[in-house]
Chains A and B, each alone.
Chain A
């Protein structure tokens, strides 16, 4: 079926894709994550990472942070479609390059190695706020917080120090300064 592309799929002049961080405040109710995620999968948008947790217990508000890539038109659609969902209160959108926004991901690394290597591993993590959460004489678990690409390269580079397991979160974001997003 090589020639059987729909006539409508070769229409668009392709625009440049950018990475955006979309933050969504929602009512913390059953199925709300499925609504948000289903909107992405149903309309063919990307999700690179996802973080969600309740941030206001009194008002039952959860904050969902989604990293996505898309053309300006697609990102606009994502925001507008999200705003139409009934449990969604507000939607913020930041470009990854935005200097006024802090993005962080957290990762847990487990190393199994001799003491010398374990020390070197900790040393290598020192730019990323390392915390040793567990230690035995042949292993440790280190927590770091960093940017996505930093964690990417760390998990590659630390193999030589006995990295055996990686667990990481999606990105969370917050604006710098005294302002908050309304």
Chain B
């Protein structure tokens, strides 16, 4: 007879077989048997967070910076409900997470037992799939299936709910063999004909543009390399969504910057005026399209995506290619090189007018801002941070708000998996715990959370985690004392009625850093900024950097909601001429 293992042991055996090296979690009554086994499995390191939401975001940061699934372990009831925000965030941004929750013993389910909640019911809409384990003999299979579902197709979060009695019960465990054949859900479903059609469109286009997104990053680093190859081979301009930043070098001339609500003038105008749009792993999100009826009215649209339900969801496309980006780009490049040698040279004249037009838009310099010698402009702070860290292969996380958009605009990413931000759900408080997860995965690398003072207070407790595990994360706070993006909307759309967007009684972040046992640094003037940033970078401990910035600065350029791409607000001067009225006033 083969050996019998307890449910708790089986959980760890599965994690071992899935090559999990780190789990983020927080103990509680219903997961104690699992925590009891932790000591017997040395290859798995547990990171104790301070709140289950932090465990989730840390696992997300871990997953997004490595491409491996993030694992979190939390207790029943409040442990599970606290993780819901992170699960939803991961669902929206397609991040592979495996969440293991404890549950009250099977016989108490449904009795409103202490710390009971309907975990699978609550998390059903925010996971790809979830399981309540009712039989110990199913546990191993479910655990492995969970990893498979989380990581195949369009990645996403899954949850396994394990009642406490199941954790004690015993069963056999068969060593896991990775099944190469996937479960048939989504994945590659395109033909050579689709690729030929794409290449035909490419060769005819006079005003083409690549519009790339997070799907490229999710498809692995190889996908980014292939994308670069294709973009160079065609000579076409490329723009990226917030989540896609890094898959193409931001300092390359073919890169037009980010598009969308706070994207560059050239990117948005090119999207509006193009005759061929090649969407690679992006999803026509409303922050990208603006007003759907006037979204890129004259273009042929190609959509490459692994998720068939993304196609034609928001925008009708002319050519859909359902498949993994890496695989689609491999086939495309192979065919392209065979049939169109020296394309970028021979095609140069066909798209030269287009590039000329793009240069005109570029000359508007839409990311420019009015500098100051007295106060630190937030854009300036990001620019200096970039200049001083660009050779250090830094990993950047952010919270949500103005600072996030400024970071996306002014920090130039050249590699995939270096940029972790909450795009779909827009979760304030994401960046600090995400930085914890990134630093766990990359202990020797520089990890910076570009934060706002309002966001960072939502998950500030995770500084304690950073200190416990000696994670030298840098929390770079652009402190303007306002919920900046809310304030900006109120200024532009609600007659400057700054309803509840000012934070009175902010903590002293330097003292706070000291209280947590890390280092606090404050910068007040542009003059001292560089020295202070260097001081931060030279500190081999967690740092909270309180950067006091201009309180009134707004994030431009901006497409007011409900407007098409060619009607942007460019900056303080431009904004007086185009006042937002009527329909545009209705967002956020």
Contact = CB atoms under 8 A, between A and B. Distances in A.
Contacts of B392: none
B124 A34 contact: yes
Interface string B295-323: 00000000000011101110010000000
A178 interface: no
Contact of B124 (A7, A38, A73): A38
A37 B280 CA distance: 32
Contacts of B124: 31, 34-35, 38
B309 A77 contact: yes
B149 A86 contact: yes
Nearest to B310: A80
Contacts of A13: 293
B507 to A, nearest CB: 35
Given A38-B125, A83-B185, A84-B186, A7 B309 contact: no
Residue among A4, A6, A73 with the most chain B CB within 10 A?
A6
B368 interface: no
Interface in B206-229: none
A3 B494 CA distance: 13
B293 A7 contact: no
B120 interface: yes
Contacts of A86: 128-129, 149, 183, 185
Nearest to B130: A31
Interface string A1-19: 0011111101111000000
B583 interface: yes
A31 B312 contact: no
A74 to B, nearest CB: 10
Nearest to A39: B125
A5 B586 contact: yes
Given A35-B124, A80-B309, A84-B186, A8 B129 contact: no
B132 interface: yes
Q: Interface of chain A, helix or strand or loop or mixed? A: loop
Interface in A33-62: 34-35, 38, 42
B286 interface: yes
Given A13-B293, A80-B308, A7 B561 contact: yes
A7 B588 CA distance: 10
A7 B292 contact: no
A107 to B, nearest CB: 32
B562 interface: yes
Contacts of B110: none
A180 interface: no
A86 B131 CA distance: 11
Nearest to A87: B129
A81 interface: yes
Interface in B51-68: none
B291 interface: yes
A98 interface: no
Nearest to A4: B586
Contacts of A6: 561, 586-587
A83 B132 CA distance: 21
A10 B309 contact: no
A76 interface: yes
B121 A8 contact: no
* Interface size bracket, A side: 20 to 34
Contact of B293 (A4, A11, A42, A77): A11
A151 B584 CA distance: 48
Interface string B91-124: 0000000000000000000000000000011001
A13 B291 CA distance: 12
B189 to A, nearest CB: 11
A113 to B, nearest CB: 45
Contacts of B132: 30-31
B236 to A, nearest CB: 28
Nearest to A43: B125
A94 B291 CA distance: 32
Contact of A73 (B134, B186, B312, B561): B312
Contacts of B129: 85-86
A12 B293 contact: yes
Contacts of A8: 286, 291-292, 561-562
Nearest to B316: A73
A32 B586 CA distance: 38
A84 B292 contact: no
A17 to B, nearest CB: 17
Given A77-B313, A84-B185, A7 B125 contact: no
Contacts of B583: 7, 10
Contacts of A85: 129
Contacts of A38: 124-125
Contacts of A10: 562, 583
Residue among B307, B309, B561 with the most chain A CB within 10 A?
B309
B307 A84 contact: yes
A173 B316 CA distance: 30
A44 B292 CA distance: 19
A13 to B, nearest CB: 7
Nearest to B185: A84
Contacts of B185: 83-84, 86
A34 B121 contact: yes
A38 to B, nearest CB: 6
A42 B124 CA distance: 11
Nearest to A89: B184
A42 to B, nearest CB: 5
A100 B313 CA distance: 29
Interface in A75-106: 76-77, 80-81, 83-86
A4 B588 CA distance: 11
Contacts of B286: 8
A116 to B, nearest CB: 52
Contacts of A34: 121, 124
23 contacts: A4-B586, A6-B587, A7-B291, A7-B583, A7-B584, A8-B291, A8-B561, A8-B562, A10-B583, A11-B291, A12-B293, A30-B132, A30-B134, A31-B121, A31-B124, A31-B132, A42-B125, A77-B313, A80-B308, A80-B311, A83-B308, A84-B185, A86-B128
Closest 10 CB pairs of A and B: A7-B562, A80-B309, A11-B292, A7-B561, A86-B129, A7-B586, A42-B125, A80-B308, A81-B309, A8-B286
Interface of B: 120-121, 124-125, 128-129, 132, 134, 149, 183, 185-186, 286, 291-293, 307-309, 311-313, 316, 561-562, 583-584, 586-587
Given A6-B586, A30-B134, A73-B312, 5 more contacts: A8-B286, A73-B316, A77-B309, A86-B128, A86-B149
